[in-house]
Amino acid sequence: MKHSSILIIGTGALANLFAARLVAADVDVTMLGTWPAGLNALRRHGVRVGDVAYPVRVATDPADCVGIRLALVLVKSWQTERATGALRQVLPPNGLALTLQNGVGNREILAHYLGEERAAQGVTTTGATLLGPGHVRPAGEGTITLGEHPRLAAISHLLAKAGFDVKTVPNVASLVWSKLLINVAINPLTALLRVPNGRLLEIPPARDVMAEAVQEVVDVARVKTIPLTFEDPLAAAEEVARRTAANRSSMLQDVTRGAPTEIDAICGAVVRAGQAANVPTPVNRTLLNLVQASIEAGSRESGIRESGNRNQGIRKQETRSQEIRKLGIRKLGNQRTN
Ligand code: KPL
pLDDT per residue of the chain (338 residues) written in tens, 0 to 9: 446 999 999 999 999 999 999 999 999 999 999 999 999 999 999 999 988 999 999 999 999 999 899 999 999 999 999 999 999 999 999 999 999 999 999 999 999 999 999 999 999 989 899 999 999 999 877 889 999 999 999 999 999 999 999 999 999 999 999 999 999 999 999 999 999 999 999 999 999 999 999 999 999 999 999 999 999 999 999 999 999 999 999 999 899 988 899 999 999 999 999 999 999 999 999 999 999 998 888 766 665 444 444 444 434 444 445 444 445 443 333 332 22
Is pTM beyond 0.75? Reply is: yes
Which residue owns the Cα nearest ligand 1 atom 7?
125
Integer Cα distance of 322 and 221 in angstroms: 22
Dmax over CA atoms of the chain, in Å, equals 56
Superfamily designation of domain 171-338: N-(1-d-carboxylethyl)-l-norvaline Dehydrogenase; domain 2 (1.10.1040.10)
Between the CA of 36 and the centroid of ligand 1 the distance, in Å, is 25
Topology (CATH) of 1-170: Rossmann fold (3.40.50)
What pLDDT sits at residue 259? 87
**Sign of the torsion formed by the C-alpha atoms of 190, 191, 194 and 196:** positive
Q: What angle do CA 182, 185, 191 make, to 5 degrees?
A: 115
Between the CA of 183 and the centroid of ligand 1 the distance, in Å, is 6
Integer Cα distance of 28 and 16 in angstroms: 14
* Domain range summary for the chain, segments of one domain joined by +: 1-170, 171-338
What pLDDT sits at residue 303? 54
The pair phi, psi for residue 62, each rounded to 5°, is -55, -30
Which residue owns the Cα nearest ligand 1 atom 9?
127
Among residues 76, 161, 167, 179, which one is catalytic? 179
Which residue from 164, 240, 262, 263 has its CB within 8 A of the most atoms of ligand 1, so it is best to mutate?
240
Active site residue 179: yes
Residues 6 or more apart whose CB falls under 8 angstroms from that of 277 comprise 220, 223, 224
